[in-house]
Structure 1
Amino acid sequence: MPSGPRQHGPKWARKRIIIPAAVLTLFVGVGIGAAGGGEAEKTSADAKPGPTVTVTESAAAAKPAKDESKPAPTVTVTKTVKPKEKAKPAEPPAEEASAGEVVFKVWGSAPNGVDINYGSDSDSRSGKGLPFEKTLKLDDGALYYHVNAQLMGGGDINCSVTIDGETKKAHASGDYNICMAQANGGLLGGWD
């Protein structure tokens, strides 16, 4: 038997270092994933996940390795970028209806157009284009005043009817949905 110094240690000795390092990396990854997982519960159901950016750097760039024959470990840093919120359509300046007038408004975004109907139970009219605003003389005999705006293939719109300082508002978004606001005549006068 030759009695010289061993050049390489037994293979099991290397495993004593590699296996615990792999297990530690796994637990750190699970911990990071669990910490970020709470944020997903706070987002709305229809929100799209943000993009993930992965940066890979060689550990050798940060600290030279003692043994150049071994490859340097790779460090991966993952950052999640939150998506920007969509801008809500700006509401036009509040214009109160003068006594004896009814104001109909439709505003927002409708790239494919919008079909607008407005008026009372006895007077029906139509209009097009955004922003839309029309004023009619108040008929005390009317049971209700309404505005209906139907999207023509997509968009995000709001609509309102204002009578004597009382405003009824509605909202529609996407495809061929309809925004409908209606002010009803009260039993004891006024508008609900």
Structure 2
Amino acid sequence: MSNQYPQQPQPGWGQQPYGQPPFPPQPPKKTGPGKIIGLGCLGIVGLIVVIGIIGALFGGNSDSKKSSDSNNVKAAASPSTSSKPAGTAKTKSSKPKASPTKKAEKETVVFKVWGTAPAGALGSLDITYGSDSDTRKGTFKNGKFEATLPLNKDAMYYNVMAQLQGSGDINCSVTVGGKTKRGHASGGYNICNAQLSSGLLGGWD
């Protein structure tokens, strides 16, 4: 018994079966709204990061410039003491001061008489001392006599004289400005005399 319907030829390799339409083309992939939002947020964040980096760079340069200017102002306001030229400091003189003893010797005249001088018929030892313009009497006690007068630069001489009264042995001296002149007398009515005269150059001889 034969089929009522004729057999259709079989399709070849790679061909669509007869009576069926070819495969429709795939529609293009659509970008989802999530991806678009994600990319937009990422761009905003990146822009903020870039702005922050630029601000940090300018801010750091400004701070460093301010600190440099401040250091320069401080350096100008307070110059280093090491730049002070050497030798400007004043030093006290190391010249020793004159001792009070030497100063007193230069300003006074000292007269001395010492030894043994028994009293005679006219009394004890007769002593006179002073300068050409000032003559004074002295007293011999306990075997010695000593007196001082202020130095007069206008005086021509200073002297001391002591006369024995019959016996004895005495010494005498006069000192002016560290210079001393001595004398001696022994027995009888002899006189002990010591004198310093003012020299032409201001010294005493």
With normalisation by structure 1, the TM-score equals: 0.49
Quick check: which one's strand share is greater?
Answer: 1
Quick check: which one's helix share is greater?
Answer: 2
With normalisation by structure 2, the TM-score equals: 0.46
